[in-house]
Structure 1
Amino acid sequence: MPTSAASPQDQLPPVPGAPPLPALSEQARRLIAVGLVSDSGEVTPGRLREAARRLEEQVPEGALLVVSEAVLPPSVLVPHLRAPALGRDRGEREGFVVVDMPDVDDFAPTAAVQLPEAVVYAVTAPDRGDHLRNDSPAEADAELASRGRSPLTLAEGVHWALQTPGVLARNACYMTIGSRLRKGAGFDARTPALWISNGTGRDGRERRGAPKAGWCWWNNRHTWLGFASAESRIG
């Protein structure tokens, strides 16, 4: 009996699972340690620590701590990402936003994303969406909706990579289709994503291995990009 052909998903290379997230209180300490939260900011270290303690009593383990993008937009968050250089290169690479996305902070949560009113909130059960690699954003959006999951926003996706840098792995990075740019009655076709730069083209050789906030077309497929999503958000 002839065997059936393998599906595109069956042909994708295996990838390591996403690393576990630390406790919310530890995530708060990291945001403070990297300088994203200070006494002069809208969210002070004391306020952040208190919010983390409160949320730890309400959410299961493995949740992600997020500071509202009204306070910490992607353009502020991304440069704090770090990843080891590739190959024979040494040291760490700093995160960056691609040059043709100067409007990165204008990508706003879609109607599919219900953000809490709280300035500090938790994202429960974040998932990288590896099973959706090689789907287009349009296809993945429908699949996530059918499973009752909410796509992560770009800011949430950056928070995740900041807390566990290993979540961005070669051949297993992710799109954040919870953020779109309004254009007339619809959306701009660019769709935000996070992945590891190869240091080619306008990225520059010096950015080889760096975490990268960029975009892909809404109807295109990429074998190395899953679709990050959450079970819920609690503020």
Structure 2
Amino acid sequence: MGNLFNSKLFMIVVALVIIIGVTLFFVYDYKNDGPVLSRPNDHNEQKGKHSKKRNGKTEIWLAVIPVIILLVLFGTRMALSHASAPDTIVPSKTEKKVATGKVVWVNNSTGKVGITTKDRKDDNPIVARVNNIPVTPDTPLISSYAGTSISNKQFLSLTVGDNVKINVHPYEWLYKNHDEYGNDEHASHVISMLNQAKVNGEVIKIKADSHTKKNSNKNLKLNRAKAQNATYSSGLGY
């Protein structure tokens, strides 16, 4: 079907439809004495109104049908030109958590945050940016956690020491029946590489639960008590 709508073959089909349509119209018109190619003869004036009306309807259809066929051809060609290729790769709708970490620095002037995880330490943190430019399958150089983004709302809520998670939408084939179109090794490699690199992640702050908050408050009170005891002891000269 795709070959039918390439430029050369398509123009040939269009020309054939026009030629056949015009030929049928004028042949029918000539054989039925008009109205376009009417032949003067003794029988023209004797033709009944019913016969003329019927011939007129037929000629209208002979003129309309080729136009409809042409509209269908051009419409189908336009629709196919906007259709995605069988090997198209897209982010899935499924969200997947790929990492958890801690904010180690926040740069308010550039809208960036540094995040450390199990596989990215202080010397090489993940850098997330507000409304970061996403990585695409055509990006020439793909690095780990490239395109990691954070919303402006999340960015404003973060401080150093906050725990965060990074979610991604893994890449997949656009068409679920991709196997029917054949295997594309290059596209398969790109999908594997993008998902392995965990690109285009979204940073989300992990809210502390009530148990964590209680422990945090308890530790804060203990630290304050220790500080007060140390001050009291130093005042007594111990």
TM over 0.5: no
Instruction: Point out the structure with the larger strand share.
Output: 1
Greater RCO, CA 8 A, separation 6+: 1
Instruction: Output the TM-score relative to the length of structure 2.
Output: 0.23
Instruction: Output the TM-score relative to the length of structure 1.
Output: 0.23
Larger radius of gyration: 2
